[in-house]
Structures are given as C-alpha cells and as structure tokens.
C-alpha cells in the first residue's frame, strides 16, 4: 500500500532568511493562502519572538489559514515558546517548532553547553510546551554533524517529553543522499516508539543535494518534507518543495507514496513567491524554469512533435506550466513547419525545401526567431517562389 508523504512549508521563515528578502504582511497572507491551496500540511509562518512584525504576521496568518497547521519557530527559550503559543492561539491547527543545536561544533562554540545540559533543556522545554501545545516539532539543529548516539539520545528525550514530529536538519547542506538516509536508518533502529511520531526531512542546498537528500530521507522512514517554494532560504537555499513533490509524482513506482499536493497549483504559488521575493526563477530550474518544458534543437523538436513523452517526463499542464518549441539555429524543419501551420500558413514538407534554408540563414544570425521574423521569411519565400501559402 502506498504511504503518505506530507509537506511542511518554511518559505516565510527559513525562506525569509534569504539575503534581501523581507515579506510584507500582505505578501505573507497571499503566500499563506497560496500554500493552503497548494496542499501543504503545515505553514511555518515566522519566528514570533524575533520582532513585533514577525509576531503580528504569524498571528494574522493563524487567523486566515483554513486547512494547514500554522507553525511558529522558537529556540529553547521560554520567551520564544510563549511568543509562539500566543501568536498561534487563533489558528485552527496551531503547532510549535522548537529547536536546539546538538552537533559538537555548535555545542562548543555557539551554545557553550555540555551534552547533559542539552538533554536537560530538551526535556524541560518540551515538557513545558506540552502543557499548552499538542503539536510539537522538535529539531536537533545540525543533526547531520551530530554524533549518531547523541542524536538518538536528543530525539528520544524530545519524544518522551511529548514531541509529535521530529525534524532532522541538514543545516549546512553537508550530507550526501546515502548518508542522510543512513541518519534516518539509525534513528529507525534505535528510537523507542519511532512509529508513534512523524519524521521530517529538512535539507539545505549548499552542495546541490537538497532534493536528493529529502527524497533519500523519505526512502528511509521520513513521512514529511520541510522545504520552501522556489528553494529560497539561507545561503544556497532549502529543498524546493515543487521539485520534491513533482519527483514523488513522476517516480511513483519508486517512492510508492501519495501526497496532498495539488500539482496544478505549482506555477501559481511559484509566481507568488517569485514576485514577493523579487527573485525570478532561473530559466533552467527544474519544473518551474521557463526552459523546463521548452525544446529548441531539431532532434528534440521532431521527437516531441511525434510524441511529447520522447523528451518530457511530466506533462507541463500538470504543474500549471506550458510547453514551448522556440525556434533557433538548431531547430529542425518539422518544428518550423508546425509553427508556420499554427500561424495559418498552409505549408507541406515539400514546401519546406524552399522555406527551411532561408529560415536557417536568418536563424544563424539571431538568438530566437520571433513570429514577426517568420512572417518576413515567408514574404521573402513567397516573392522568390511566386506562390502564396495563405
């Protein structure tokens, strides 16, 4: 039976940590509504203790979101925890995300805490939080650089104190997919009550492995992917949820998992976030890049026109995108003929013998051929051949 993978969005928290990104309240509300339509299970709306603005934003989002859980982030500090409890109290499904770093480098240089002190803090603060919030996500920050046995001890302490979801951050985007899968395997083998809580991946893209790592986590027992829209986030960003959701759909036979993601809303939510961040999606980005479903070379265009599946593993309309066959110097006669037919010219393969060389000579001097250029090419051909194709 297929398992269920849920998605936890942190575009407005980890994503807002992108250099130069500062959402307005209106932008956050638009993003939150778009995410709810996209089908995420949880929306991390901000870090309420960080500023009055963050607090107000989480509070407003808690009031307007219909389906997803609304989450606030908190360090293991009572003031942070109280701020989340207050900011999310009007949410239909409030949730808190508490975190503390567990790796040696963070313990020694950032927290100045021993392992024992960290375990005590986890126990005390999760126990405190549980009196006010049922749904608690616990993150051992920098989990992937934490000693495996101490990671188990930290996570077990959080579960025993009442955490309902354990998130495993690859905070600095360090792991390979195999290693990240191994972290989950170790937890699966050693945590008492592993199946009683949810498990989420949280992967950063410093080495370009965020999507592969999130999917490796899913293959090794994780039930949720934490990520952002368009992969925005600290440094090189977080896993792009649109990519991960599309991968689970396209490779259904491999992941054998269902999601609640409405893939057709991918373009809509990607555009909202691109506008609000003033960060257009790169042309070659998987799924949402403008080239992701575009074919310019002749061999690919010919195959695509015979059967789109020769070069497309996902129908663009499934993610709200459209396919295109831009015409350039590498394009073939088949695609040029098809474009001319769509512009109203009644041309056959035989006619292309006269048209294509002229197209080619113009294309060699241009980037992409526009419809207007094609019309001029046709005028030249018609005058030269003394025929009309219209």
Site residues (vs ligand KIV, CB under 6 A): 14, 99, 139, 141, 169, 171, 202, 204
Name which of 171 and 338 has its Cβ closer to Zn ion: 171
Name which of 228 and 301 has its Cβ closer to ligand KIV: 228
Hey, which bits of the chain come out as E strands? 3-4, 6-9, 42-46, 69-75, 94-101, 136-141, 165-170, 198-203, 224-227, 257-258
The option from Zn ion, ligand KIV, none interacting with 139 (CB < 5 to 8 A, set by class) reads ligand KIV
Name which of 14 and 224 has its Cβ closer to Zn ion: 14
Query: What angle is formed at CA 34 by the lines to CA 31 and CA 39, rounded to 5 degrees?
Result: 125
Name which of 35 and 168 has its Cβ closer to Zn ion: 168
321: left (phi over 0), alpha (psi -120 to 50) or beta: beta
Min separation Cβ 139 and ligand KIV, Å: 4
Name which of 35 and 347 has its Cβ closer to ligand KIV: 35
The option from Zn ion, ligand KIV, none interacting with 221 (CB < 5 to 8 A, set by class) reads none
The option from Zn ion, ligand KIV, none interacting with 141 (CB < 5 to 8 A, set by class) reads ligand KIV
How far apart CA 148 and CA 299 sit, in angstroms, is 50
Min separation Cβ 199 and ligand KIV, Å: 14
Comparing CA positions, the residue from 28, 26, 18 lying closest to residue 70 is 28
With tokens 């001319």, the residue in question is 340
Name which of 14 and 302 has its Cβ closer to ligand KIV: 14
Helix (H, G, I), strand (E, B) or coil at 315: coil
Indicate the residue whose CB is closest to ligand KIV: 169
Comparing CA positions, the residue from 261, 265, 239 lying closest to residue 250 is 261
Min separation Cβ 169 and Zn ion, Å: 6
Name which of 76 and 215 has its Cβ closer to ligand KIV: 76
The option from Zn ion, ligand KIV, none interacting with 145 (CB < 5 to 8 A, set by class) reads none
208: left (phi over 0), alpha (psi -120 to 50) or beta: left
- What H or E segment, with its residue span, contains residue 52? helix 52-64
Min separation Cβ 238 and ligand KIV, Å: 8
Min separation Cβ 204 and ligand KIV, Å: 6
Min separation Cβ 168 and Zn ion, Å: 11
Min separation Cβ 99 and ligand KIV, Å: 5
Q: What is 234-275 written as a DSSP string?
A: STT-B-BHHHHHHHHHHTHHHH-EE----GGGHHHHHHHHHH
142 is an interface residue for Zn ion by CB under 5 A: no
The option from ligand KIV, Zn ion, none interacting with 138 (CB < 5 to 8 A, set by class) reads none
Scanning residues 8 to 47, which ones bind Zn ion (CB under 5 A)?
A: 14
How far apart CA 126 and CA 138 sit, in angstroms, is 8
Name which of 60 and 204 has its Cβ closer to ligand KIV: 204
Min separation Cβ 34 and Zn ion, Å: 21
The option from Zn ion, ligand KIV, none interacting with 103 (CB < 5 to 8 A, set by class) reads none
Name which of 122 and 325 has its Cβ closer to ligand KIV: 122
The option from Zn ion, ligand KIV, none interacting with 99 (CB < 5 to 8 A, set by class) reads ligand KIV
Q: Helix 266-277 to helix 241-250 angle, to the nearest 10 degrees?
A: 160
Comparing CA positions, the residue from 194, 146, 198 lying closest to residue 171 is 146
How far apart CA 376 and CA 223 sit, in angstroms, is 57
Min separation Cβ 80 and ligand KIV, Å: 11
Task: Name 294's Cβ contacts closer than 8 Å, sequence gap at least 6.
Answer: 323, 324, 325, 326
Contacts with Zn ion by CB under 5 A lie at 14
């Amino acid at each position: 039976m297929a398992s269920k993978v849920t998605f936890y969005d942190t575009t407005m928290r980890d994503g807002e940590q992108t250099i130069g990104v500062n959402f307005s309240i209106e932008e956050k509300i638009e993003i939150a509504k778009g995410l709810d339509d996209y089908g995420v299970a949880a929306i991390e709306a901000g870090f309420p203790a960080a500023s009055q603005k963050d607090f107000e934003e989480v509070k407003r989002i808690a009031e307007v979101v219909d389906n997803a859980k609304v989450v606030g982030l908190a360090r293991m500090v009572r003031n942070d925890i109280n701020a989340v409890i207050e900011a999310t109290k009007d949410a239909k499904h409030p949730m808190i995300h508490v975190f503390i770093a567990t790796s040696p480098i963070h313990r020694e240089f950032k927290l100045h805490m021993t392992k024992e002190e960290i375990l005590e803090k986890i126990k005390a603060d999760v126990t405190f939080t549980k009196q006010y919030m049922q749904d608690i996500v616990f993150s051992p920050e920098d989990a992937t650089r934490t000693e495996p046995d101490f990671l188990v001890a930290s996570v077990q302490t959080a579960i025993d104190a009442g955490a309902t979801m354990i998130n495993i951050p690859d905070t600095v985007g360090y792991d390979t997919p195999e290693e990240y899968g191994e972290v989950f395997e170790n937890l699966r083998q050693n945590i008492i009550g592993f199946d009683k809580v949810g498990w989420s991946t949280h992967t950063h893209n410093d080495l370009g492995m965020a999507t592969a790592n999130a999917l490796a986590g899913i293959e090794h027992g994780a039930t949720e992917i934490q990520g952002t829209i368009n992969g925005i986030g600290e440094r090189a960003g977080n896993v792009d949820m649109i990519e991960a959701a599309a991968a689970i759909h396209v490779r259904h036979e491999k992941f054998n998992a269902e999601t609640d993601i409405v893939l057709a809303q991918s373009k809509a939510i990607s555009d909202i976030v691109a506008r609000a961040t003033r960060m257009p999606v790169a042309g070659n980005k998987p799924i949402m890049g403008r080239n992701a479903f575009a074919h310019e070379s002749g061999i690919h265009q010919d195959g695509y026109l015979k059967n789109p599946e020769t070069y497309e593993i996902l129908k663009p309309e499934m993610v709200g995108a459209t396919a295109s066959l831009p015409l350039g110097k590498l394009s073939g006669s088949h695609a040029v003929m098809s474009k001319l037919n769509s512009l109203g010219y009644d041309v056959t393969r035989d006619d292309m013998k006269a048209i294509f060389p002229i197209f080619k000579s113009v294309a060699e001097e241009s980037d992409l051929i526009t419809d207007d250029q094609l019309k001029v090419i046709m005028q030249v051909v018609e005058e030269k051949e003394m025929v009309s194709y219209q």
